[in-house]
Chains A and B, each alone.
Chain A
Amino acid sequence: MSYFVEMKDITKVYDNGIIANQAVNFSLKEGEIHAIAGENGAGKSTIMKILYGLEKPTSGEIFIRGQKVNITSPIDALRYNIGMVHQHFMLVDNLTICENIFLGMEITKGLVLDRNRMNELTLEYAKKYDIDVEPNEVCRNISVSVKQKVEILKVLVRGARIIILDEPTAVLTPQETDKFFQQLQLLKKDNYTIVIITHKLNEIKAICDRVTILRHGKNCGVYQVKTISLNDISRLMIGFDINHNKGKASVKRKRKILSVNTLEIVNNRGEKVVDNISFDAFEGEILCFAGVEGNGQNETIQCLAGLNQNYRGQIIINKQNISKMSIAKIRSLGVSYISEDRMMQGVNQEDSIMDNLINYKLNKKEYVKAGFINYRKLKAEAVDLLKNYDVKYDNLKQPIKMLSGGNIQKIVIARELENEPLVIIANQPTRGVDVGAIELIHQKLINLRDKHKLIILVSADLNEVFNLADRIIVFYNGKITAEITDVNNLTEEELGLYMLGLKKQNKNGHINE
């Protein structure tokens, strides 16, 4: 039987010498939902970016309905009815939903835009696929899940018959994910072909017809989802079995380390993004901030780390009010911060591994004499540290951007945890890194928790939350809507209800639905 799309022997070598795909074959049948599974860095996104014309393959051929084609840009791809929704949405915040959807292909009546027609079309598509959007809403104000819907509508309106979705559920709650899958089924019914890039195994099982598994840039096989078990997929993806059970040490609450009182943050558009929240945190616990992205967790974190000092209320760390302290001073109290924006904030890409490891050490006399940096001492420490964290590198002078994402994140974590700080703020510590690195990072965090440190974890990955958290506070709309101390008896569904604001605890811990 012939395939709708066939990619043959695709090899992609990036400019920096990284091999993303190596002789990968990939095929799509019309009207199927096809998963591309693999760890981060396995080359899933790259192969789809090649199909979508964003990346040029180093070698290999693409056939659509048996015809050899040359796709060099997304415009080409759309000509072949291929559309893609990226992991990071590409919407213009200042425009309305409808304007975003028709951006670049506006319908006009003479010289003016035909807004009514565009609104009608938007609603028509939305209704057909059970997508709930308000065309005139400005994109800045809509939630991530709506943004995703807008992206899908954008692709549909542009006439795509093949829709590539890159990690579509990463930003969704379990309930939103269910709804999203129903919409995908509707699309499938209309003979749309859908590709889902994912590393979430249960989603593959829930919705996909076939799965292509990639590992280290190579194709490890194409399977009918019905005939392959989750364990098999997992083993093919990773190459070995991993143990998901991390087991929580029960550490008794002792000393209060962090206290946040009536914190209120107004962003630069004048919106109250954190609204009068208070909480305490104690040594020896992993406190998790759960919530859909954009509900105030990040803003709170920024204040704790001293990156934003424009807030009302009090933050007290180890009995000291940090509101007027410099970042360096806050760090010297024993606060470390693992940034969620690894490449832009967590490291300095252009500079060497060494330079990226020493940024906190130059305040200390033991490393600097009369302004001169004692590189010999720092180098010895760096070598030990990187060995301890199993970082793969050639030499300390190579630019850090030459390393893989997982190795870069290990370096960031190593640097932040090196001195066993009192408070570790970990913002998406394992986002976009491979399973091996995740294991290591989790283990290091747990070790520190067991050494009576406080770890504040923000993570969009609910698995991570359930694996690590000793206590969860849920952020919704800038407020804390729930505090969960008994994480073991919490279900994903219940957490989802809190995250969506459908369920709330009041001050006494009672639950309002």
Chain B
Amino acid sequence: MNKVKKNDLIFEILRTFSAIIISFIIAFIIILFTSKEPFSTIKIFITAPFASSYALGKILTEAVPLLFTGTAVCIMIKAGQFNMIGEGLFYIGGLIGAVIVINISLPPIILPLCALLLTFCLGGIVGYVPAKMKATLSINEFVSSLMFNFIIYWLGLYLLGNVFIDPNYSDIATHQIPAAGKLFFLSYDNQVSSSVLIGLLFSLLAWVFLYKTKWGYYIRMTGNNERFAHYSGIKTKRTIVYAQVIGAAICCLGGAAYVLGNMYRFNWKQLPNYGFDGFIIAIIAHNNPLLIPIAALFMGYLRSGAAEMARLTDVTNEVVFIIQAIMIILIAARAFLYQLKQKRIRAMVEMEIKPYD
């Protein structure tokens, strides 16, 4: 049996890698058609993220939002909830985080941490509404959270344009984030901020929460088999509420961490899409918080390569979105490599049978 399990693991890994390689091949074919110098373009796409310390930093920076939203999605999916509210909350978390540090004066480090704490609470409070609606009124969280995103986004945009706008700046943006409010840079050269550490910390904490605490246990049982959870005396409604509240809170805090760590003003006029990306990351990571950093870094690498490619060649970075989409389809496809896996299992079992005959 153990062998079968190991076999499972090998094939999960193999499957993910094959999916990545196939999606790259398809991407290259697309590049072949859209670029005048396809081979140098491909080279830049693959190697540019490692070419300079700035580009390397870019990988980390691109991964930051995904660490938070991916982790949040993990927790919610573990409870069986497909809640999209992370998208709106990441946006509003960024705005409110910036507003807090602009308007409150506290010593450095304490100020941004205070902003993170407040946005965490804000996210939890907002996230409670669709979660509670799901638990008591059975309103599908997928639909209600999508609608909530609109409310949050337009409210945020209204606040940005009318209340928190810096009239002396050339763009619609908040005032500049004061030095005391910044999450410090780990390296000024490549602008890698301590926000990445906070992101990693949350992935780790999420894992500990899910696998080492009783609340995490309740979430996993409820998500995998609600009937079993109910039968076991677990309050399943309460569980799906707090799982979504925690997920929402992490997304909102993530927005603040990203803005305070990696931006100088809050100036988003559109939803940044990081909340939805969280689902992609969670799928690649098989909903395991410990794999979220790997998935997020990989996605960061792809985006960094795409950005470099867009900067240095004649191919635009739209191509990376095509790659992403193909990759996810392949990774999510369960039948992929299934035949091969069956053959391996059969061969193994047959070897086990033989000595008895």
- Could you tell me which A residues sit within 8 Å of B by CB distance? 13, 15-17, 19, 22, 58, 305, 307, 326-328, 330-331, 337, 339, 341, 344-351, 355, 358-360, 362-363, 368, 371-373, 375, 394-395, 398, 402
Top-8 shortest CB links A-B: A328-B233, A359-B232, A327-B233, A362-B214, A17-B4, A348-B225, A371-B213, A348-B228
Stretch from B28-36, B157-165, B250-258, B345-353 at the A interface: B345-353
Chain B nearest Cβ from A365, distance in angstroms: 11
- Identify which of A326, A339, A368, A373 gathers the most chain B CB atoms within 10 Å of its CB: A373
From the candidates A346, A348, A394, name the one contacting B221 in the complex (CB within 8 A). A348
How far does the alpha carbon of A373 sit from the alpha carbon of B209 in the complex, in Å?
Answer: 10
> Using a Cβ cutoff of 8 Å, how many contacts connect chains A and B?
93
Chain B hits for A330, CB < 8 A: 233
How far does the alpha carbon of A19 sit from the alpha carbon of B234 in the complex, in Å?
Answer: 36
Query: From DSSP, what is the main secondary structure of chain B's interface residues?
Result: helix
Look across to chain A and name the residue whose beta carbon is closest to the beta carbon of B346.
A13
How far does the alpha carbon of A351 sit from the alpha carbon of B215 in the complex, in Å?
Answer: 16
From the candidates A17, A307, A347, A372, name the one contacting B345 in the complex (CB within 8 A). A17
B231 near A345 with CB under 8 A, answer yes
Chain A hits for B220, CB < 8 A: 351, 355
Chain A nearest Cβ from B283, distance in angstroms: 17
How far does the alpha carbon of A109 sit from the alpha carbon of B274 in the complex, in Å?
Answer: 59
Look across to chain A and name the residue whose beta carbon is closest to the beta carbon of B222.
A348
Look across to chain B and name the residue whose beta carbon is closest to the beta carbon of A361.
B214
Look across to chain A and name the residue whose beta carbon is closest to the beta carbon of B2.
A394
B322-357 contact mask (Cβ, 8 Å, vs A): 1 or 0: 000000000000000000001001101110010000
Interface range on chain B: under 10, 10 to 19, 20 to 34, or 35 or more?
20 to 34
- Identify which of A337, A339, A345 gathers the most chain B CB atoms within 10 Å of its CB: A345
A371 near B215 with CB under 8 A, answer yes
Look across to chain A and name the residue whose beta carbon is closest to the beta carbon of B233.
A328
- Could you tell me which B residues sit within 8 Å of A by CB distance? 1-2, 4-5, 212-215, 217-218, 220-221, 224-225, 227-235, 342, 345-346, 348-350, 353
Chain B hits for A359, CB < 8 A: 221, 228-229, 232-234
From the candidates A347, A373, A394, A395, name the one contacting B213 in the complex (CB within 8 A). A373
Chain A hits for B1, CB < 8 A: 17, 394, 398, 402
From the candidates B2, B213, B221, B229, name the one contacting A372 in the complex (CB within 8 A). B213
Chain B nearest Cβ from A509, distance in angstroms: 36
Given A17-B1, A344-B225, decide whether A371 and B214 contact each other with a Cβ distance below 8 A. Answer: yes
A348 near B345 with CB under 8 A, answer no
Chain A nearest Cβ from B2, distance in angstroms: 5
Given A13-B346, A373-B213, decide whether A327 and B231 contact each other with a Cβ distance below 8 A. Answer: yes
Look across to chain B and name the residue whose beta carbon is closest to the beta carbon of A359.
B232
From the candidates A22, A307, A351, A368, name the one contacting B231 in the complex (CB within 8 A). A307
Given A307-B231, A327-B233, decide whether A395 and B349 contact each other with a Cβ distance below 8 A. Answer: no
How far does the alpha carbon of A28 sit from the alpha carbon of B234 in the complex, in Å?
Answer: 51
Chain A nearest Cβ from B175, distance in angstroms: 40
B346 near A373 with CB under 8 A, answer no
Q: A22-B353, A359-B229, A394-B1 are in contact. List 8 more A-B contacts (CB 8 A).
A: A16-B4, A347-B225, A351-B224, A359-B221, A372-B212, A373-B214, A373-B217, A402-B1
Chain A hits for B233, CB < 8 A: 326-328, 330-331, 359-360, 363
How far does the alpha carbon of A58 sit from the alpha carbon of B228 in the complex, in Å?
Answer: 34
How far does the alpha carbon of A360 sit from the alpha carbon of B234 in the complex, in Å?
Answer: 9
B228 near A347 with CB under 8 A, answer yes
Chain A hits for B215, CB < 8 A: 371
B232 near A398 with CB under 8 A, answer no
A to B CB contacts below 8 Å, 20 in the list: A13-B349, A17-B345, A17-B349, A305-B231, A326-B233, A337-B231, A344-B225, A345-B225, A348-B224, A348-B225, A359-B221, A359-B234, A360-B232, A362-B214, A372-B214, A373-B212, A373-B213, A394-B1, A395-B2, A398-B2
How far does the alpha carbon of A435 sit from the alpha carbon of B37 in the complex, in Å?
Answer: 72
How far does the alpha carbon of A305 sit from the alpha carbon of B230 in the complex, in Å?
Answer: 11
A326 near B235 with CB under 8 A, answer yes
A339 near B2 with CB under 8 A, answer no
A351 near B345 with CB under 8 A, answer no
Look across to chain A and name the residue whose beta carbon is closest to the beta carbon of B211.
A373
Chain A nearest Cβ from B57, distance in angstroms: 36
Chain A hits for B218, CB < 8 A: 362
How far does the alpha carbon of A285 sit from the alpha carbon of B357 in the complex, in Å?
Answer: 48
How far does the alpha carbon of A362 sit from the alpha carbon of B233 in the complex, in Å?
Answer: 10
Chain A nearest Cβ from B131, distance in angstroms: 20
Chain B hits for A22, CB < 8 A: 353
Given A327-B231, A360-B232, A360-B233, decide whether A351 and B221 contact each other with a Cβ distance below 8 A. Answer: yes
Look across to chain B and name the residue whose beta carbon is closest to the beta carbon of A356.
B228
Chain B nearest Cβ from A133, distance in angstroms: 34
How far does the alpha carbon of A279 sit from the alpha carbon of B220 in the complex, in Å?
Answer: 39
Chain A hits for B2, CB < 8 A: 394-395, 398
Chain A hits for B349, CB < 8 A: 13, 17, 19
How far does the alpha carbon of A19 sit from the alpha carbon of B232 in the complex, in Å?
Answer: 32
How far does the alpha carbon of A368 sit from the alpha carbon of B215 in the complex, in Å?
Answer: 11
How far does the alpha carbon of A480 sit from the alpha carbon of B4 in the complex, in Å?
Answer: 50
How far does the alpha carbon of A114 sit from the alpha carbon of B103 in the complex, in Å?
Answer: 79
Chain A hits for B213, CB < 8 A: 371-373
From the candidates B224, B345, B346, name the one contacting A350 in the complex (CB within 8 A). B224
Chain B nearest Cβ from A399, distance in angstroms: 8
B217 near A358 with CB under 8 A, answer yes
Chain B hits for A348, CB < 8 A: 221, 224-225, 228-229
Given A22-B353, A360-B232, A362-B214, decide whether A350 and B225 contact each other with a Cβ distance below 8 A. Answer: yes
How far does the alpha carbon of A86 sit from the alpha carbon of B268 in the complex, in Å?
Answer: 60
Chain B hits for A17, CB < 8 A: 1, 4, 345, 348-349
B345 near A345 with CB under 8 A, answer no
From the candidates A13, A15, A346, A394, name the one contacting B228 in the complex (CB within 8 A). A346
- Identify which of B225, B227, B353 gathers the most chain A CB atoms within 10 Å of its CB: B225
Chain B hits for A337, CB < 8 A: 231
Chain A hits for B224, CB < 8 A: 348-351
Given A331-B233, A355-B221, A360-B232, decide whether A344 and B227 contact each other with a Cβ distance below 8 A. Answer: yes
How far does the alpha carbon of A283 sit from the alpha carbon of B235 in the complex, in Å?
Answer: 30
Chain A nearest Cβ from B245, distance in angstroms: 16
Chain A hits for B353, CB < 8 A: 19, 22
Chain B nearest Cβ from A391, distance in angstroms: 13
Chain A nearest Cβ from B237, distance in angstroms: 12
